Structure 1
Amino acid sequence: MIIVRYGEIALKGKNRKTFENKLIENIKKTLARKGVDAKVRSTQGRLIVDASHEFSEIIRKVPGVVSVSPAWKMEYEEIPEFLSTHLRNMNPASFKIDARRINKAFHKTSQQINEEIGAFVVQRFGWKVNLNQPELAIGIEMIEGQAYVFFETKKGVGGLPSSTQGRLVLLMSVGIDSPVAGFLMLKRGVSLTALHFDQGHADLARQMIDVLNQYSSEPIELIVVNHLEYFQPYVTELERMGKREWTCVICKVLMLKKAEEIAKERSALGIVTGDSLGQVASQTLENLFLESSVVKMPIYRPLIGMDKDETVRIARQIGTFEIFVEAARHSCPFRPSSVVTRGSTYGLNKILEHFKSKSLWQG
């Protein structure tokens, strides 16, 4: 058995059951991708998953899950015998009992359970009690009159269940930022379609998607566009205009236009990017304003106020940082020696008008 706890869903009022059912569905889908047909039931603000303990690591990555505990189900009276057997090869410096009655149906209070089972462990093993920083915490949750005993609680990603908030198109590189942006939107209940402009690392992009799929209730579609073929005509025209310093801004403009096109095809409601304010030249307020002006769809930037350390921490946490390291030495072949950091609307419009005259731009 695995105990699954959720948090934000409990605040949804009349919609709570809808979100709870979606979370159950997503857990089942996630386990089914691993070949597991698990039963999941809801009771007293908990989900009980009838699956082997090893699958708790998979379940904790499902958006909406706050924590999981691999547990053993038994009658309350069976706890001493179970602990005698299960703990006999352990010798922790200290322990504590952390008991909770999930409802008032059971006749003993949480404190009574703590004292009663704690006294048994002391008598049986002679271990020292430490309520603040124990080496071993023995969890007991009384649910519908049954005892669920566990020895670890794994933190989940929290947030809302996937596919409860519509679809967005993620502009995804193999860098640090955009996969993290995708993860943050997944944990807010969004479904993703990913768009990658390939510079020779499509295999790494697929690895990034494999990681993000651990946090998605449905496989994420990855659309790959050849970066060199797509951008070369525009860079050539910028050279002719003597406007090579605009390359990074124009590159982002074209990416957003392509993302908008795909969003319309996929009935998506917007675009997600890994932009972080001021982090690189194309991410100044002026340039972000210009880039946003060329598309009509909303652009979501979940990293906009984060610093690099925060983003790296999340990338390490979810497992995309190691993939980024494999591609870290790569640089864009189109990057100019100097770049526009505070582009103007007038300057952008002149370039787009030129592109239009060459049948390279519509809009």
Structure 2
Amino acid sequence: MYELILVRYGELGLKGKNKSQFINRLVLNIKRGIKGLAPREVISTWGRIWVPVRDDLDQTIERLQQVFGIYSVSPVIKVEKNLSAIQEAALKVLHDALPQGGSFKVETRRPDKTFPMLSPEISKAVGSYLFAHSPDIYQAEMHHPEHTIQVEIRSEGAFVYGQVIPCAKGLPVGSSGRAVLMLSGGIDSPVAGWMAMKRGVTIEAVHFHSFPFTSERAKQKVIDLCQVLALWGGKIRLHVVHFTEIQKAIRQNCREEYGITIMRRMMFRLAERIAAENKAFAIYTGESVGQVASQTLESMYTINQVTNMPVLRPLVGMDKEEIIKISQSIKAFDISIRPYEDCCTIFLPDYPKIRPRLEEAIMMEEKLDVEALIREALEKTEVLEIIQEEIIS
């Protein structure tokens, strides 16, 4: 019955002279999102994007709901611009939307001002037709209807629909530059990456792997999380950083309670180097104030001093319950809770310093050959490109 899906793009319509760049990016991402389904042309017109349906309506809508930048979608019937065709299409939409009956009203938009009837006249004529050609289980209701039948008269035709399905909103991935995501394998950092992509950011994921202290299953867990993020971002490049020698050096040369602080400072140095090599301009983390010892304000201040790059923490004001809710909604939670330790937990001291002092951290790092350790870690870094279910070394 439905031939097209109408795609609405919300805040992109407010981008002024740059609007076309955002819309072009969104069209590319839509094509990527529906790749693998029956081939079709995505149509961009003034104020609207249209995706044809090929006997795969539900699958196509599900894919579009994972494309950032789309505000909502509607399955649409397209007909000729004459009243009888519009009325017949509206009757089909009504019976599909309310098969058991209920209250409805009709709303009309008429961007094509050459159509001989005004919008209120069209709504009245269509509503009267629906009422006359439907059983008594349907009632017209102007103020609080159960369903609204929408009619749009545009230069390219008349469009009738009855559903408005919410989507991911945000900005198209790739429209806001590139950033590094410090991806631990826990619950928080994948959510931070998802929120970065929602604002149009392309993600370079960085994971710190301490084999043999952390297992290959822990690494696979992170790969699986990247595949979840790739459903939303199209492609995730994962940098698996060899972190074993750094952790050994910290354990041998630094006070135990400062281990997490020094480790995080080294991670930020590495993330900054990877960001610079990949033309990224910020570092994203899954930190939330006060959640663990390294996330007190004092810890964040001491750790941040090793980089001049912006460190963005989209979860900073959220509690764990809020974070878990998002993790579950994006299908990352069950992967995140797999019982495989990451490098942040294997050498966790009994009493980590929750208010570390910058001068003490600097003093302890004087015992480390920081540059040599970073160079070795980067030389052993493995880079994987993850495109949904595909992994390319």
> What band does the TM-score fall into relative to the shorter chain?
0.7 to 0.9
Query: 1:256 pairs with 264, 268, 272, which one?
Result: 268
Q: Map of 1:176-325 to 2, 5 A cutoff?
A: 176-198=187-209, 199=214, 200-216=217-233, 218-225=234-241, 228=244, 230-238=246-254, 243-325=255-337
Counterpart contact for 2:94–2:149, Cα < 8 Å: no
1:73 pairs with 2:78 = yes
**Shift of residue 119, structure 1, vs aligned partner:** 2.2
1:192 CA drift (Å): 0.9
TM-score (norm 1): 0.88
Q: 1:13-35 CA deviation, whole Å, 9 max, x = no partner?
A: 11112222222122123223x25
Task: Name which of 33, 53, 59 aligns with 2:64.
Answer: 59
In the alignment, which residue of structure 2 is the partner of 1:30?
A: 33
d(CA) in 2 for partners of 1:215 and 1:296? 29
How far does the alpha carbon of each residue in 1:221-271 deviate from its partner, in whole angstroms, 9 at most, with x for none?
A: 112235556523322333xxxx11112222221221221121122121121
User: Which residues of 2 match residues 44-193 of structure 1 at below 5 A?
Assistant: 44-52=46-54, 53=57, 54-75=59-80, 76=82, 77-85=84-92, 90-125=99-134, 126=136, 127-131=138-142, 134-144=145-155, 146-193=157-204
Deviation at 1:81, TM superposition (A): 2.9
- Give 4+ residue runs of structure 1 displaced > 6 Å after superposition: 328-331
List alignment gaps of at least 5 residues for structure 2: 376-393
The yes-or-no answer on 1:336 pairing with 2:349 is yes
User: Identity across aligned pairs (percent)?
Assistant: 35
Shift of 1:79: 3.2
- Kindly report the root-mean-square deviation, in angstroms, between the aligned alpha carbons of the 2 structures: 2.7
Partner of 2:207, secondary structure, is strand
- Counterpart-to-counterpart distance in 1, 2:28 and 2:320: 35
Kept after mapping to 1: 8 A contact 2:93/2:162: no
Correspondence for 1:8: 11
Distance 1:97 1:273 in 2: 47
Aligned partner letter, 1:41: I
**Superimposed CA distance per residue, residues 126-158 of structure 1 (whole angstroms, 9 cap, x where no aligned partner):** 202345554444333323252222232221222
Aligned length: 356
TM-score normalised to the size of structure 2?
0.81
Output the amino acid matched with 1:215: W
Per the alignment, in what secondary structure is the counterpart of residue 102 of structure 2?
A: coil
Partner Cα separation in structure 2 for residue 61 and residue 357 of structure 1: 41
Q: Aligned with 1:97: secondary structure?
A: strand
SS at the partner of 1:140?
A: strand
Aligned amino acid, residue 251 of structure 2: V
Alpha-carbon distance between aligned partners in 2 of 1:9 and 1:172, rounded to the nearest angstrom:
29
Which residue number in structure 1 is paired with residue 391 of structure 2? none
Closer, same or farther: CA 325–93 of 1 in aligned 2, 3 Å: farther
Residues 186 and 111 from structure 1, CA distance in 2 versus in 1: closer, same or farther, beyond 3 angstroms? same
